Every structure is written in C-alpha cells, then in structure tokens.
Structure 1
Amino acid sequence: MKVGIGRERRDGEKRVAATPETVLQLTALGVDVTVESGAGAASGYSDAAYEKAGAHVAGAFDATTFDVLCHVRPLSPELAATLPAGTITVGLASPASELPTVAALAAAQVTSFALELVPRISRAQSMDALTSQALVAGYRAVLEATIRFPRFFPLYMTAAGTIPPARVLVLGAGVAGLQAIGTAKRLGARVSAYDVRPASADEVTSMGGTFISLDLDAVEGAGGYATELAEDRAVRQRELLAPYVAKADVLITTAAIPGRPAPLLVTREMVAAMPAGSVVVDLAAETGGNVEGVLPGEDQLVPTSAGDGVVTLVGMRDAASAMASDASRLYAKNVANLLALMTTDGQVVPDCADEVVAGACLTSGGEVRHAPTAAALEGKN
C-alpha cells in the first residue's frame, strides 16, 4: 500500500507527519512511503535523510494517489472532497471546528482517523498525540512568557539588593499544565496551580507547585478530562480565582475539553487587576480561549485597572509547531504507531473491533462515526 506524507499547507505549521525514523518503522511494515519534497525542511529533516531511510521523495505530490494519507493539521474541505473512496487518512482533525472537512470526508467515503479521538487508555499511550503535543506546548508557553516578562523568574540575592522570584499561576493541570509548572519551577519561579479535578493535586505537588483548592470539584470525564461546569458554577469559579490571578506576575492557562470550545476561566477585568508588566499566556486561544478576548497568534496590551501600566495577553497559536523538530519527532511516532496497529502483511486494514481503532475513527463508510461530531453536523444542517 502507498502511504503519502505531504508538506503542511497551513500558515505557521512547521511540523511533519513522518520523520526518517518513522519511515524506517513504516517501511518495515511492508508499506511504500512517499514524502513530498521539502515536507520536513522546517522541522530539520532533509529530503536526503528521508531517501536514506527508504522513502521516495516526490517533487510533484498528488494526495489523491495514495491509499493512506498522513497529515498534521486538518485537511481542507476541498482536498478531502477529492480523495478517492476508501482512502485512509491519519492526523489531527479538530472535528469540532472543522465540520466542513468532516462532512467532505464522509461524503467522499474516506476512512479518517483523528488523533484527538485516540482513547486515553494504557495500550494507546504511544499513539496519544494530544499528550505528546501538549508536552511541547506547555514547555513553550513558559518560554514565551519569560521573553515578555520584564523581570527575572528566580530569586536573586545580591550586594545591590534582593530580587524576589516571579509568581507564576497555571490554570489547568493536564499534561501541558504540568509541563508548564515544571518548566517555570526549574527557572526558579514560585509556582501555584489550579485544576477543577481534585485528583490533580498530587501531580501539581510532584512538579513543585502549590495546589489551589476552590471547593468546586468537577466530575472527571472520559480520558481523565474534567466535565464542563454549569454556568453558575463557572461564574463562581472565576470569582474564586480572581484574587489568585490578581497576585500573579505570570498566568498560563491550559484548560481544554476535547471537541468543545475552551472553558472561560479569566475575564478581561481579572487580567486588568494583575500587576503592571504581568504576562498572560493562553494555550487555548485557538479553541476560543480561557481568557476573555484573547486572539490566537496575537499579543494584546491590556491596561491595568490601577492605571499604572499594561498586562501583555498572549494568544498562543501553533505552540507545538514553534518547536517543530521535537514536536514532529513525537507526533510522527504517534502516527506510525497507530498505523502499525492497523497494518498486517503490508496492508492497512482497520479493525473496528479494536477499541483504539474504533475510538479514533472519525468517518467511515460514508458516515460520521464520532457521535458528538455527527450531532454537531446535524445541528448545523
């Protein structure tokens, strides 16, 4: 079977869905791998490295000629509509925000697998792209904050005086949040964190952070994610968080609910109450944002309510792509491991009796197999 790895077309996307390492893994399965020329250049992987690993490198890349098409960002509706029936696609699909593409994939009789939908169970950990990319994003968020924050992160005691450590607050203690906590702590900041899931308290502590309890525990849903709070409790949550936000020098928000808009955790007024020179980095900006008014890919200067300066509000976009080499290394392994699960004797044959395969399947046989996405499409129509 022919597996195609194309160059990503979306602006700002530097990752690639296969590396020379995973080409070796895929060809060992008995499939034929073709990589579009220049696909890995932004991630530091040359055409020569792909050829050495056993891939064909194609200057003219026609996505419609492959049995399996691997990608990073969601396909465009136009490309999805041209794929032959029976084509298999593997990649991030963002089904909640890419409904036209989902509809096109179903109409074209494409069997698509969305890595966001891989079940969070032990045997699927090596295919969990949300986790691998969140690891990169959480680390990057702290770096973005440090270059904008006009002070040191660590405590310094000098002959000229003492510089206190920065106070960092992380909202959301999933993979990205925990990585942000650990990174900020290693830089010497005083770190506190909040998550609506009480079980995350031990994880926050293990990373060197101080857990904030608001007595608003949520029920933990599938995959370890918190269920969305009712509106009245969400309002109360923001009220209880306000004094902690007001004391923070750096605020990093990471809360997300797969397939749903990001929960609003911080209002514009809460940002304005922070000290002058503070920095807010919202990792959920591309899915609506945890911070009111955030814009993905843009920095905004929010005047403080005290009138003594501004707070920098950073809407992260393509966070993992900003560290394209290692992000691609991890992501490509996720893709290759899922393909390996579905490949026997050189043939990619998805077995929907397997809970991992069934869980990751977005469209098949002309139908949308992911119930929430199917319902969203019904509502749109």
Structure 2
Amino acid sequence: MKIAVARETRDGEARVAMVPELVGKLTGLGYVVTVEPDAGAHALITDEDYRAAGAEVDAAAVESADLVVSVQPLGTDVIRRLRRGTATISFLPTGQERAVVTDLRDCGLTSFAMELVPRISRAQSMDALSSQALVAGYRCAVVAAGMLRRFFPLNMTAAGTVPPAEVVVLGAGVAGLQAIATAKRLGAVVKAYDVRAAAAEEIRSMGAQSIDLELETLEGAGGYAREMTEDRAARQRDLLTPYIADADALITTAAVPGRQAPMLVTRAMVEEMRPGSVVVDLAAESGGNVEGSEAGEVVRIGNAQVWGGRNVPSQMPGPASRLYAQNVVNLVTLMTQTTEEGAALFAPDFEDEIVAGSCVTHDGVIRHEPTRAAIEGEQA
C-alpha cells in the first residue's frame, strides 16, 4: 500500500506532514512512501532528503495513493481526483471546512482529523494539537521578547542594574506553559493565570508566580476550561487589570478547538499598559483573547503593540513538521495490520476509541456526529 505526502498549497502553510527521518518508520511497517515534489521545501527539506530516506518523489503521488497525509485539509480539486476508498489524515476543522467534509463524503473517502484524536492517555503520542501548541507557545514568547525594546533578563553592570521585564501569561495549557518556560529561560519575571485549579501547580512548577484571583475554578472536559458566565468574565477582567497594567509583555493563549476564543482582555485594559508594552494574542485566529487584535497583524492599542497570531506553528516549520509527522506515524501505526507476507494493510478498527473519535467520513457517510448534524441541518 502507498502513503502519499501531499505538498501544502494553502497560503502561509510551511509545514509538511512527513519528515525524512520518520519515513523509515512507515517503510518498516511495509508501506511504500511517495512524496509530491517540493513538499518539504518550506521546511528546508529537499526531495533528495526524502529519496535518501527511502521515499519516492512523484508528481502523481497523491492520485495513486491508498492513504494521503497532509497538514491542512486537501483542496477540493485534489479530493475529487482521489480513488473512492482512499484515506486521508490531516487537520480538518469541520466547523470551518464543511464544504471539504461534504466532498470527502460524496467522493467516498475515509478521512481522519488530527484535532479530533481523543484526549486520553493512550492517544497522547498522536495528539497533534498538543505538539503544535508546544511550538506555538515557544514562538509567542520569542516574539514578545523580540518586539519588546528592553531586556528580558536582569542585568547587573558597572554602569548600573537593568531590572528584568515582567511578563504576564493568560492560559496555562500546553502553549501557555511553554510560553512561561521560554520567558523564564530568557530571564523575565513571569506571572500567569488560568481558570483551572490544577493549572496553579503547573505554573509554579515552571518557576512562575500563579495569579490567584480568588474566583471559582472552571474545570472542563478533556483538560480544557469550561465556558464562564459574562458576570464571571467581567469580574475576572476587573481583577486582572492591575496585573496587565504592570506588565511589560502580555501573552494570551486561551483557546478551545472548534470554539470562539474567550475575550479575556478588553481594549481599555490594554490602554492601561505602559509605553513600549507588547501584547501577543495567540488566539487571534479564533476570535482573539484580546479585544482589537487581528490575526497576522500588529496593531497599536494605546501605548502597546498587539501581535495577533496566525498559523503560529508554521512560523517554525522544521520542529513543527517533525512533531506533527511523529503524531501521524503513531496514528498510522495504530491503524495498520501486517500481512503474512510482510506487507502493510491500512485497516482502521472503528471499534477503537481513537479511530472512531478521529474519523470524520467513511464509505459515503459523515461519521462525526456533530458535523453530520450541522451539515444535514444546513441542507434541510
């Protein structure tokens, strides 16, 4: 069976779904791995790198494949060229990509969405949301340090002492914790807040101060926070305002896949910040944690520069691709059986919780119930 690595075509996407050092994992299972020409170019991976790892480079790789792996969903033109029964693995935000889901269904393709992999212990090695959040969290701390026109660390010199920058991080999931860790490594004084009770210990474990607003905690399913009432949100904003006003850099990372990002910081709160302050909103693409932030843009609010994140993991395509590719390999391995002759057979077991949870379409049917209900409701 053939696995094809698609070349990404969406604007701003620099990652690739497979890297040369992991090709051997797939060929070792018995697959033939084919790669579209220049698939890894933006991640500084050459076609020769893939050939040296045992892959074939072929312009017709996708059309002849049994399984196509990509980062972003395949385009409609590509989907309609695939043979019925072909499988795809990619990120597939079903709420925003309903036309793609419909095409996948109508073309009889089996599709798996990486963001739908259940958040259970057995699936941790396949959790691409977490691996990409790790990259994004690191990147946003580096962006904040680069934009801030002062040192992050304390510096003591014969000419005097330069105090460290003060950084506030809102949200202590994977991205937030990595932002905290990176800012601490750069020498900043870091304070952080999360609505989940368990996050306080995690924040302290990174060497940061956990901000305690003495409000009820909001533990939700799958490790995410549950939505808060508007009264709770308004009280939280009031209590956070002095911390944000004192910060040199504010980093916000609160987001839940498939949902609007919570608005944690108002324009008025940003206007309280000192001249030269920096705000990095990692959730700008999903509505933003900061009022007025714009995905992919730097805007000025009061005295602060506000950087809105857009496809942030793709800004570090090398490590992001390596981590994502490992997630893909682990998921493919779960769904692979080996014949007596040693050949690979891609045979998803839909009784498996991970397989069933991540499957969007199969055999002409939308299997992901919320997506099916939404599409059928639109078509009714």
Question: TM-score band (shorter)?
Answer: over 0.9
Q: Is the 8 A contact 1:6 1:61 kept in 2?
A: no
Say if 1:222 and 1:149 are closer, same or farther in 2 by CA, change over 3 A: same
The match for 1:175 is 174
**In the alignment, which residue of structure 2 is the partner of 1:234?**
233
Aligned residue for 1:369?
367
2:326 to 333, 357, 360: 333
CA contact (8 A) 2:151 2:165 kept: yes
Letter of the structure 2 residue corresponding to residue 240 of structure 1: L
1:237-252 maps to which residues of 2 (within 5 A)?
237-252=236-251
In the alignment, is residue 317 of structure 1 matched against residue 310 of structure 2?
A: yes
Query: Per the alignment, in what secondary structure is the counterpart of residue 65 of structure 1?
Result: coil
Matched with 2:102 is 103
TM-score w.r.t. the length of structure 1 is 0.94
Give the equivalent residue in structure 2 for 1:29.
29
Q: In the superposition, relative to structure 1, how do residues 57 and 86 fare at CA in structure 2: closer, same or farther (>3 Å)?
A: same
Distance apart, 1:237 and its partner CA: 2.2
**Aligned mates of 2:372, 2:255 — CA distance in 1:** 20
* Aligned: 1:19 with 2:22: no
Task: Determine the structure 1 residue equivalent to 2:148.
Answer: 149
Contact kept in structure 2, 1:218 and 1:229, CA below 8 Å: no
Q: What is the CA–CA distance in structure 2 between the aligned matches of 1:223 and 1:130, rounded to whole Å?
A: 12
- Name the SS of the counterpart of 1:33 in structure 2: strand
Q: Percent identity?
A: 57
369-378 or 108-117, which moves further after superposition?
369-378
Aligned match of 2:194 = 195
**Structure 1 position 368, deviation (Å):** 2.6
Distance 1:239 1:80, change over 3 A: farther
8 Å Cα contact 2:197/2:218 also seen in 1 = no
Amino acid at match of 1:156: N
Separation in 2, partners of 1:54, 1:352? 31
- 1:307 corresponds to which residue? none
Indicate conservation of the 8 Å contact 2:34/2:61, yes or no. Answer: no
| Contact 1:191–1:210 (Cα < 8 Å) also in 2 | yes
Q: Secondary structure at the match of 2:198?
A: helix
Secondary structure at the counterpart of residue 64 of structure 1: coil
The unaligned stretches of length 5 or more in structure 1 are 305-309
TM-score (norm 2): 0.94
Structure 2 counterpart of 1:57, one-letter code: V
Distance apart, 1:81 and its partner CA: 4.3
Give secondary structure in 2 for the equivalent of 1:196.
Answer: coil
Name 1:64's counterpart in structure 2.
63
**1:96 and 1:260 in contact (8 A); partners too:** no
Paired residue type of 2:361? T
Helix, strand or coil: the match of 1:297?
coil
Paired residues, what number? Answer: 374
Partner in structure 2 of residue 75 of structure 1: 74
Residue 43 of structure 1, CA deviation? 1.4
Q: C-alpha displacement at 1:82, in angstroms?
A: 4.3
**Partners of 1:228 and 1:371 in 2: how far apart?**
22
Instruction: For 2:160 and 2:378, locate their aligned partners in 1 and report how far apart those are by CA, in whole Å.
Output: 61
SS at 2:316's partner residue? helix
**229-238 or 270-279, which deviates more:** 229-238
Contact 2:36 2:61 in 1 (8 A): no
Cα distance in 2 for partners of 1:36, 1:85 equals: 20
Report the secondary structure of 1:63's partner residue: coil
**Letter paired with 1:374:** R
